[in-house]
């Protein structure tokens, strides 16, 4: 269940940040957003085997 909610949250976060990046179009902001998304995906990947609480 945690993985499902994590995927939903990741999808919503990517959609929100994509709209922001499309409006701003600054290379530095795009890099910061991509780093944040990569960190989110790595954290989701590491949490996939943790037991649900």
Q: Which two tokens stand for residue 8?
A: 């939903």
**Cα separation, 53 vs 32, whole angstroms:** 32
Residue listed under structure tokens 């701003």: 24
Sequence ranges of the domains in the chain: 2-47
pLDDT interval class at 50 (50, 70, 90): confident
pLDDT interval class at 33 (50, 70, 90): very high
pLDDT interval class at 8 (50, 70, 90): very high
pTM: 0.82
Q: What is the mean pLDDT of residues 18-46?
A: 95
């Amino acid at each position: 269940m945690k993985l499902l909610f994590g995927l939903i949250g990741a999808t919503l976060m990517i959609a929100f940040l994509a709209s922001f990046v499309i409006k701003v179009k600054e290379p530095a902001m795009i890099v910061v957003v991509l780093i944040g998304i990569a960190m989110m995906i790595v954290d989701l990947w590491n949490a996939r085997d943790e037991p649900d609480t």
